[in-house]
Amino acid sequence: MLLAETGHAKINLALHVRSRGADGYHALETLFAFAEDGDRLTLAEGEGLSLDLSGPFAGPLAGDDNLVLRAARAFLDRFGLPAGAAFGLDKRLPVASGIGGGSADAAAALRLLCRRHDIHPTAPELMAIAASLGADVPACLVSRTMRGEGRGDALVPIDGEGLSGMALLLVNPGPPLATGPVFRAWDGRDRGVLARGDALETALAGRNDLEPPARMLLPAIGAVLERLAGQAGTRLVRMSGSGATCFALFEDEAARDAADRDIARAEPGWWRLATRLR
């Protein structure tokens, strides 16, 4: 039987960088949300462990170090299970783009293996595996609105009902932007806490501290944000994660779709995804 999961695009509605530790890691406060759409991962019976790649962004992902395979190996080792998994990844999200594509795919692989082997997806062992794969993977495993602290992997449940179903447009100017250089270019200034309370109000009052260094490294981000901010019906315009993908939340899907059409005409080379928050 073929099983399928979506690797939901991760959105940092706000991202406050509070400090840089001696170990090089950063203390964060972030508000995670997830799109309804993203990459598509399938799992079938197979010999050993394999991954077949397709889709517009599959090219850079070939090799045994792919996060899907790393997640599968960690899962099978932890639970003492034999190999025999053939994954198929339709890579629809841009690589190195601030929306957690690799982390979302690893999380989708874990959810698929849980379904196959009848393991509950909230098992403590599973969250430990997720954390070992990357700071965003635990949040992507749940793929629901929540607050992230520490490195982003200390998760705090919040009520995201007010955000669910909101019209969302993602836009990326094209070039990949690695996370490391963006964090290294952060100026080190603590600009204050991320508020608690209503999820939308928290997002609106927040900021993304990585946006200035990302724009310095890739000025096209500024053009994307300017284009989104000029659209009618937006509630929030911001960059996600370390970039370069930017997003806008809209009052309704009609406004989102009008913005999507406008950007497609003006900047046909930019990647876009019209979707909704989960």
Mean pLDDT, rounded, of the chain: 96
Instruction: Identify the band that residue 22 occupies on the pLDDT scale cut at 50, 70 and 90.
Output: confident
Reported pTM: 0.96
Binding residues are: 94-104
Active site residue 209: no
The closest alpha carbon to 107, from 78, 86, 133, belongs to 133
The closest alpha carbon to 39, from 100, 105, 98, belongs to 105
- Pair of tokens at residue 212: 């200035």
Binding residues for ATP are: 94-104
Instruction: Identify the band that residue 65 occupies on the pLDDT scale cut at 50, 70 and 90.
Output: confident
Catalytic residue among 136, 153, 209, 260: 136
The closest alpha carbon to 43, from 105, 88, 83, belongs to 88
Instruction: Identify the band that residue 202 occupies on the pLDDT scale cut at 50, 70 and 90.
Output: very high
Domains of the chain as residue ranges with CATH:
3-157 (3.30.230.10), 167-276 (3.30.70.890)
Q: pLDDT exceeding 70 applies to what percent of the chain? A: 99
Catalytic residue among 10, 37, 153, 260: 10
52-66, 76-90, 135-149, 237-251: which has the minimum mean pLDDT?
52-66
Active site residue 91: no
174 touches 202 (CB < 8 A)? no
Please name the helix (run of DSSP H) or strand (run of DSSP E) that holds residue 71, with its range, or none: helix 67-79
pLDDT at 60 over 90: no
CA pair distance 200, 215, nearest whole angstrom: 25
